[in-house]
A and B are shown apart, each in its own frame.
Chain A
Amino acid sequence: MIDINPFLAWVESTTLSQWIVGSPSMLAFPGILVVHAIGMGFAVGVSAALDLRILGVAPGIPLADMRRFLPFLWAGFWLNAVSGVLLLIGYPTKALTNPVFYLKLTLIAVAMTLLVRISGRAFASSSGGPSGPPVPEITPTLRKLAIASLVCWTGAITAGRLLAYTYTRLTQLH
C-alpha cells in the first residue's frame, strides 16, 4: 500500500492550497464554493430537465430541441470540475481519506456517462421519414436511462453534502 500522506502534505504546503484555505478574501474558499453551487445548479438542473422531458414532462418540446440547453449543462459541469479541483487542492486530506468522496466521484462519473448515452439516443439523427426533421423515439431503454440519471444525481448531491459530516481528518496537521 502506497503511503499518500507525504503527497497530501506536499499539496497542502503549496501556495495555491494555502491561499484557497487561508486567504481572508471572499474570492478564495467562499467564492469557489459559490461557483461550485451555481455550477451544480446548471449541470444537474439541465440534466434533470432533459430526464424529465424524456419521462413525459413538457411533451410540447421536440426531444431533439432539448440539445439547445446542453451547452449550459456542460458549462456547469466544467465550472464544477475546475472549482472541485481547487477545493480538492485546498483540502486534499479531508477529501481523499473519506470513502464518501470516492462515492460522490463515482456517482458523477456514472451520471455523466448516462448523459452521453442519453444524448446519443435522444439527439440521434436517425431517419424520421423523407420530409421534416428526424423524430427520435422515446424507448423504454431511454426512460430507464433517464430514471438512472435522476437517481445518480440525487446520490451525488447527497454524498457531496455529507462530505462535511463524514470526514475523519481535515489536514495532515489535524
Chain B
Amino acid sequence: MDIHQFQVWLVTTIYRNSPVADLMRTAWAWPIAESLHFLGLCLLVGSIGTFDLRLLGVAKRVPIAAVHRFIPWGLAGFAINIMTGTMFLLTEPDQYIYNPSFHFKLLFMTIGGLNAGTFYLTSYRHLFGPDAPLDAPMRAKVIAAISLCAWLGVITGGRLLTFYRPAPCDGQQKGLLLTCAP
C-alpha cells in the first residue's frame, strides 16, 4: 500500500467506523467544538507563546522557570484542540486527509513538537537549575523563535483549511500526498 492508497483507506475506514459522526452532525455540536478549538488556540498561544517570548528576552528580570509555570495551561489548550480536532477529522475525514492545508498544519505541529522536545533535551537542566541565568543562551532563543513560527504556521494551516477543500480527482494525482478526493 503506497501513501495515496493509505489515505483512501484511512478515509474509508473512518467513514465506516466513526464513533462521533452522529453526535457531530447534530445542530450545535460542530460549532461548539469549533469554539472550544479557538479557546484552546488562545490558551496555547497565551502560555507557550508567552514562554517563548520570555526566552527571547521579554520580561528579562523574571526567572525563566517562573514563566514556565504557564506551560501546563498551554498543554491543556493543546489537549482540547487535539480532542476537538480529532472529532472534526472523524466526522469529515475526506475534508482533512486530502487537504494540503491540513498536511501543512500537521507538518508544523510535528516541527513544534520536535522543537519542544529539543528544548527539554538541550536546555532544561541549564535553564531550570539552581544557577539558572536570566538571559537564555542563543540555542534556546532559536528554539523559542522556531516554536512561535511553528504555532503560527499551525494556526495558518488550520484557518486556510476551508479554502483548500479537495476537489474530485480527475486523472492520475501526482505528488507525495493525495490532494483530491477519489
Binding site for B on A (CB under 8 A): 26, 30, 33-34, 37-38, 40-42, 44-49, 52, 57-62, 65-66, 68-69, 72, 153-154, 157-158, 160-162, 164-165
**B126 beta carbon closer than 8 Å to chain A:** no
Q: Given A57-B73, A58-B70, A65-B59: A161 and B34 within 8 A (CB)?
A: yes
- Tell me the minimal C-beta distance from B128 to chain A in angstroms: 12
A-B contacts at CB below 8 angstroms, number? 107
The answer to whether B61 and A44 touch across the interface, beta carbons within 8 angstroms, is no
B99 CB within 8 Å of chain A: no
Residues of chain B at the chain A interface (Cβ within 8 Å): 31, 34-35, 38-39, 41-47, 49-50, 53, 58-59, 61-63, 65-67, 69-70, 73, 152, 155-156, 158-160, 163
Q: In whole Å, how far is A48's beta carbon from the nearest beta carbon of chain B?
A: 5
Residue of A nearest to B151 (CB): A41
Let me know if B49 and A42 touch, CB within 8 A: yes
B65 contacts across to A, CB distance below 8 A: 60
With a 10 A CB-CB cut-off, give which of A45, A66, A68, A157 has the most chain B CB atoms: A45
Contact between chains at B163 and A37 (CB < 8 Å): no
B140 to chain A, nearest CB (A): 18
- Please list the 7 inter-chain residue pairs (A to B) with the smallest Cβ-Cβ separation, ordered nearest first: A45-B46, A60-B66, A41-B45, A68-B59, A58-B69, A45-B45, A44-B42
